[in-house]
A and B are shown apart, each in its own frame.
Chain A
Amino acid sequence: MTQIEVTGRAFVFGDNIDTDLLAPGHLMKLPAEDLARHCLEAISPVFAKSVQPGDFVVAGKNFGLGSSREQAAISLRILGVGAVIAPSFARIFYRNALNLGLPALFCDAANRIVEGDQLMVNPVLGKIVNKTRGETISCKPIPDHLMAMVRAGGLVAHLKSRRGT
Chain B
Amino acid sequence: MSEASRPQTVSSGLTLAQKLLARASGSERVTPGDIVVVKVDLAMAHDSSGPRRWKPHLEALGARLWDPSRVVIVSDHFVPAVDADSAAILKLTRDFATEQNVGHFFDMEGICHAILPQKGLLRPGILVAGGDSHTPHAGAFGCYAAGFGATDMLGILVTGQTWTIVPETIRVELTGSFGKNVSAKDVMLVLCRELGMDNAFKAIEYGGPGVASMSMDERMVLSNMAAELGGEVGLIGADKVTLDHIRAHGGSVSEADLVWQPDLDAAYERSISIDLSELEPQIALPHSPANSFPIGHALGSPIHQAYIGACVGAKLQDLHMAAEILQGRRTAPGVRLLVAPASSQVTADAAADGTLSILLAAGATLLPSGCGACAGMGAGLLAAGEVCISTTNRNFKGRMGHADAFVYLGSPYTVAASAIAGCVSDPRTLSADMTVPA
User: Residues of A with Cβ closer than 8 Å to B?
Assistant: 62, 65, 68, 70, 88-92, 94-96, 98-100, 106, 140, 142-143, 145-146, 154-156, 159-160, 163, 165
Query: B96: CB under 8 A from chain A?
Result: no
Selected from A88, A95, A143, the residue in CB contact (under 8 A) with B148 is A95
Contacts of B201 in A (CB 8 A): 88, 91, 94
- Contact between chains at A140 and B155 (CB < 8 Å): no
Residues in B whose Cβ lies below 8 Å from that of A98: 163
Inter-chain CA distance A70–B62, complex, in Å, is 24
Tell me if A92 and B198 are in contact (CB < 8 A).
Answer: no
In the assembly, what is the distance between CA of A96 and CA of B163, in Å? 12
Q: A146-B163, A159-B61, A159-B63 are known contacts. Are A95 and B200 too (CB-CB below 8 A)?
A: no
Cβ contacts under 8 Å, B151 to chain A: 70, 96, 99-100, 154-156
Q: CB of B8 within 8 A of chain A?
A: no
CB-CB contacts below 8 Å: B159-205 with A: 159, 163, 165, 198, 200-201
Query: Which residue of A has the minimal Cβ distance to B164?
Result: A95
A91-B232, A163-B62 given; A140·B35 CB < 8 A: yes
Distance from A85 Cβ to chain B, minimum over Cβ atoms (Å): 16
A163 partner, pick from B63, B155, B163, beta carbons under 8 A = B63
User: Which of B148, B149, B154, B232 has the most C-beta atoms of chain A within 10 angstroms of its own C-beta?
Assistant: B149
Chain A CB within 8 A of B383 CB: no
CB contact between A155 and one of B33, B60, B152, B198 (< 8 Å): that residue = B152
Bound-state CA distance A154–B163 (Å) is 13
Query: Which residue on chain A has the smallest CB distance to residue B230?
Result: A91
A159, B37: Cβ atoms closer than 8 Å:
no
Q: Is B158 an interface residue (CB 8 A)?
A: yes
Interface magnitude class on chain B: 20 to 34
With both beta carbons as reference points, the residue of chain A lying nearest to B167 in the complex is identified as A91
Asked if residues B152 and A159 are in contact (CB atoms below 8 Å), the reply is: no
Given known A-B contacts A68-B149, A99-B152, A159-B159, A91 and B61 have beta carbons under 8 A apart: no
B43 shortest CB reach to chain A, Å = 15
**CB-based A-B contact count at 8 angstroms:** 63
Which of B35, B62, B152, B198 meets A146, CB within 8 Å?
B35
Nearest chain A CB to B362 CB, angstrom units? 39
- Complex CA–CA separation, A90 to B163 (angstroms): 16
Q: Tell me, yes or no, whether B57 is within 8 Å of chain A by CB.
A: yes
Chain A residues with CB under 8 Å of B57's CB are 156
In the complex, besides A90-B200, A96-B149, A156-B57, 20 extra interface pairs with C-beta distance below 8 angstroms are A62-B198, A70-B149, A91-B201, A95-B149, A99-B149, A99-B151, A99-B152, A99-B155, A140-B33, A143-B35, A143-B37, A145-B37, A155-B155, A156-B151, A156-B154, A159-B61, A159-B154, A159-B155, A159-B159, A163-B62
Note all chain B residues with C-beta closer than 8 A to A68: 149
- Cα–Cα distance between A156 and B35 once the two chains are bound (Å): 20
A-B CB contact pairs (8 Å), 15 listed: A70-B149, A70-B151, A88-B201, A89-B200, A90-B200, A91-B232, A94-B165, A96-B149, A99-B149, A99-B152, A145-B37, A146-B163, A155-B152, A155-B154, A160-B60
Residues of B within 8 A of A70 (CB): 149, 151
In whole angstroms, what is the CA distance A92 to B201 when docked?
9
Residues of B within 8 A of A143 (CB): 35, 37
> What chain A residues lie within 8 Å of B155 (beta carbons)?
99, 155, 159
Query: Which of B62, B165, B198, B200 lies at the interface centre, i.e. has the most chain A CB atoms within 10 A of its CB?
Result: B200
Looking at the complex, which one of B60, B148, B154, B198 makes contact with A165 (CB distance below 8 Å)? B60
Looking at the assembled complex, report how far the CB atom of A67 sits from the nearest CB atom of chain B, in whole angstroms: 11
